[in-house]
Amino acid sequence: MTTEARATITVDNTVVTFEGPQEFVDAQVAKYIGSGVSSDSRTNKGGDGQSSDLTTRAVLTEKKLVLAKKPDGHSETIAVLAFALAESGISEFSEEDMRKAYIRAGVRPPKVVGQAIRDAKRLNDFVDYGSQRGRYKLSNHGDRTVRFDLPRQTETKG
């Protein structure tokens, strides 16, 4: 007989509660913790009222990272968002993953996300091809650019 479980996860100001068999709840909590979405997670097992705090890695959200790095254009934005995805444990991403990252960051995505990703690869070498067709990953150059070169310092001549 499976035990009933309940988990409550707080994402930004939204509270998500999972109820059901222990395996289902554990899988959902692992999914949220593995992707670095949750900053405050509590699990209530068996409804006994006891909660145990689950530790998560502190991961910058896409929105905070875009505000901090101030990318200029879609190529740099794709590099910043790919960096955020890589830091949250998603090393390879698809066009749909990138579109969702744009939306989570509060930035209007390009009309054709695939073309913007290809341009980031071809023009700036921020992105490499992944292990499968339609999958991409952040290149070493893109990682260095996001870590050390962004935000770009504007030089004032006086």
Domain boundaries, the chain: 4-53, 62-149
Instruction: Return the CATH architecture of domain 62-149.
Output: Orthogonal Bundle (1.10)
Tell me how far apart the alpha carbons of residues 70 and 58 are, in angstroms, rounded to a whole number.
21
pLDDT of residue 65: 92
pLDDT tens digits along 27-37: 887 777 665 54
Find all residues with CB under 8 Å of 16, minimum gap 6, and list them.
Answer: 8, 9, 10, 32
pLDDT lower than 50: segments of the chain = 37-59
pLDDT on residue 39: 41
Whether the CB-CB separation of 67 and 73 falls below 8 Å is answered with no
φ, ψ at 21 (rounded to 5°): -60, 150
Q: What's the pLDDT score for residue 13?
A: 67
Please give the pLDDT value at position 103.
93
Specify the 3-state DSSP secondary structure of 128. Answer: strand
